Amino acid sequence: MQEIENKNTNSIFENIKHIDEYNNEFWYTRELQRVLEYKDWRNFQNVIDKTKESCKNSKFNLDEQLVEVNKLSKRNNNAVANIQDYKLSKYIRYLIVQNADPKKEFDWLEKYYK
């Protein structure tokens, strides 16, 4: 049973994982935002800001863990807008999850990070 639960949890992150040209894994914050059920970017941006501080305090190089990128996004009126996003390392993704709203209950997260 535990193995099945871990596979389901892993697939949640695997489904939004990307691989760059150097074969490095990374995730986008906009995709992680949806997984963590944040509707508004500005609310999720607060989590990102807290995570940046956590990363600095852990003595990891923030610039290697989180890279700002701009992406084009189609709006409801078919207009295209430039939006802010971040490429995340596995470590910073972990920190974001740890800094997310503790009121949100994700049974799968608790199992994943045990």
Digit-by-digit pLDDT tens for the chain (114 residues) are: 344 344 455 678 899 999 999 999 999 999 999 999 999 999 999 999 999 999 999 989 999 999 999 988 887 788 888 899 999 999 999 999 999 987 776 655 554 554
Sign of the torsion formed by the C-alpha atoms of 56, 48, 25 and 111: positive
Per-residue pLDDT, 77: 81
Alpha-carbon distances, residue 10 vs 18, 22, 38, 110 (angstroms): 14, 22, 20, 12
The pTM of the full predicted model, rounded to 2 decimals, is 0.79
